Chains A and B, each alone.
Chain A
């Protein structure tokens, strides 16, 4: 740890403490003050009747600071008074200048920034818990920050905007979140924010600028290759460049949304399951929604989002009509014009289409496009891009079938990865299992846990986490179905469903009751928090585990255990 710190200080010059900053600025006023005092005191000791240095200094001290006790030790002569008159103006001006400079220094913007920076780096250096470094605290960062904070994770925030960093103090977070106003593209700032801190457990590049995210991902990969990096981007080219450095997790909201769309087209139940689990604790089972019919789609807005969407639709063999304000070189069939113009919209014949996509980067335009398209064809399946979070109620009121909120897609995605890596793995591998499998699992989830998602947690079947299961696990046929029996009544199951069983590197998705478990297996459960406590009880308490696994009642106390063993 110390080696790392030393390494760090060798790379960047140590900042001088605040006191030296003050002293450097105070040089001129202090020298003036000393000189004034010296001249005044010297004069008093020379003018007859000559005062001693002690008396002279005493007199000047109370006169110069405008306290003024009068003429001590004896009333002054005319010559002394003449000199004192001059020195009063001299020293009072000296004091006023010194105090004025000091106050001006304290008000100084650069000085205050230097102070804030020192305070920030001190707080970061003192962090003794693992923390995540969030670069960019816009919509995505804030959603994610709140979710991670409720999980009890610590964060350090870096953002260009002072408003967002100031808001950290006002918003209610459980833990103190140190924030710095600075450019993430500057390696030095990243370093100050704790990139080289031994407790830094991950770097999240979430700014809305791809270039900055790339620099952050690059810096992190070069300076801390051991730390996982998650970066957001909307351009495939940047994604490619990011992957050149280490192995960052790159999240492209449009790309992910495209994956979701394809999943929803092919396997509505899988899509339903995915959005439920990714919704986080407390999420309601999403409405299955109506599946879009087969037929032609109309896409308004051919930007990054529109392109991606069209690509995904075409990959599914669907016919697409595109409307955009500018002519596209690579797309000859584009209807050029403003889609909110009824004549232009009519050219795309929405009445004969099945789906409509409002994908411009302006929420007002998107909303009016949806309304216009609905009027022409009430049965249209509608997908829309929502650019600002505050417009969510408007999109909800319009009953849009699919809404893309880029910030939420990214935040949800990263949250799933950071909170429970097993859940992430489940979500990645789930689409391959097919729609029927997902319908089955959804039924099981609903039967055991209801329509509100409980918590998702991981359990490891080893001697540390499950000491009471040792003998049972080492038997040949330890059925998973026996483990999830309820400690209250072993004929019922606890209100939890195992989502994934991980043995070594091999994952079994949605393991059935007759799957055998072995020591060292990791299980991912979803269910009620009560069920989690029940399972922990089974895993730790021998009396409970004997009942749950073998239907035997053994005494819980040490004495009775001894006695019953004798008989």
Chain B
């Protein structure tokens, strides 16, 4: 068992679970989506991306790509949340919240692909 693999798996999985937690619930209800969870999802996703840097294998390249997609979606969601709370006159209404949550939903899909890759990688190497 290598510590590197543990940390790597931990962050990939945590990024997906946090994302899922934020996404869960009625899409337009601000009360059901905790902004701290979004913050945690962004941070963990960024760390997961950095952990994937520099892996030269084909599967490593796809890993990095999915992570970049998730980052992009989550940052877009965070920007949208910032726009709604700080700039928009309407505030964080149902419409804005639906936008934020649907963006994070896209990130969730990318994170699920990441987890799927992780599982595939694990089953390929389990005999070693």
Contact = CB atoms under 8 A, between A and B. Distances in A.
Nearest to A16: B56
Interface in A480-523: none
A52 interface: yes
A27 B39 contact: no
Summarize A's interface: helix, strand, loop or mixed. helix
Given A31-B47, A34-B47, A38-B43, A23 B53 contact: yes
Residue of B53, B78, B85 with most partner-chain A CB within 10 A: B53
A53 B35 contact: yes
A203 interface: no
B54 A54 contact: no
User: When A and B form their complex, which 8 residue pairs have the shortest distance between CB atoms, in order from nearest?
Assistant: A24-B54, A23-B53, A38-B43, A54-B82, A30-B50, A34-B46, A31-B50, A16-B56
A84 B36 CA distance: 19
B39 A20 contact: no
A344 interface: no
B86 A54 contact: yes
Interface string A53-74: 1100000000000000000000
B41 to A, nearest CB: 11
A263 to B, nearest CB: 59
A536 to B, nearest CB: 57
B118 to A, nearest CB: 18
A42 B39 contact: yes
A84 to B, nearest CB: 18
14 contacts: A16-B56, A24-B54, A25-B54, A27-B54, A34-B46, A34-B47, A38-B39, A38-B43, A45-B36, A45-B39, A52-B85, A52-B86, A53-B35, A53-B82
Contacts of A42: 36, 39
A47 to B, nearest CB: 14
A20 B47 contact: no
A535 interface: no
Contacts, number: 46
A41 interface: yes
B27 interface: no
A34 B43 contact: yes
A24 B54 CA distance: 4
Nearest to B87: A54
B69 interface: no
Given A42-B39, A53-B35, A53-B39, A20 B53 contact: yes
A19 to B, nearest CB: 10
Given A31-B47, A53-B82, 18 more contacts: A16-B54, A20-B53, A20-B54, A21-B54, A23-B53, A25-B54, A26-B53, A27-B53, A31-B51, A34-B47, A35-B43, A35-B47, A38-B43, A42-B36, A53-B35, A53-B78, A53-B81, A54-B85
B15 to A, nearest CB: 12
Interface of B: 35-36, 39, 43, 46-47, 50-51, 53-54, 56, 78, 81-82, 85-86
B27 to A, nearest CB: 20
B99 to A, nearest CB: 16
A27 B51 contact: yes
A27 B48 CA distance: 10
A41 B39 CA distance: 9
A473 B16 CA distance: 84
A38 B39 CA distance: 8
Nearest to A14: B56
A37 B56 CA distance: 28
Nearest to B78: A53
Contacts of A23: 53-54
Interface string A5-47: 0000000000010001101111100110011011001100100
Nearest to B42: A38
Contacts of B78: 53
Contacts of A37: 43
A439 to B, nearest CB: 69
A20 B54 CA distance: 5
A342 B6 CA distance: 82
A27 B35 contact: no
A29 B51 CA distance: 11
Contacts of B39: 38, 41-42, 45, 53
A26 B49 CA distance: 12
Contacts of A54: 82, 85-86
B29 to A, nearest CB: 19
A534 B128 CA distance: 78
Nearest to B44: A38
A368 B50 CA distance: 70
A481 B81 CA distance: 94
A232 to B, nearest CB: 39
A27 B55 CA distance: 11
A27 B56 contact: no
Nearest to B82: A54
Contacts of B36: 42, 45
A24 B53 contact: yes
A20 B43 CA distance: 22
Contacts of B43: 34-35, 37-38
A95 to B, nearest CB: 16
A296 B37 CA distance: 101
A25 B54 CA distance: 8
Nearest to A26: B53
A521 B109 CA distance: 74
Nearest to A15: B56
Contacts of B47: 31, 34-35
A37 B42 CA distance: 12
B7 to A, nearest CB: 10
A41 B53 CA distance: 25
A339 to B, nearest CB: 62
B33 to A, nearest CB: 13
Given A42-B39, A53-B39, A34 B50 contact: yes
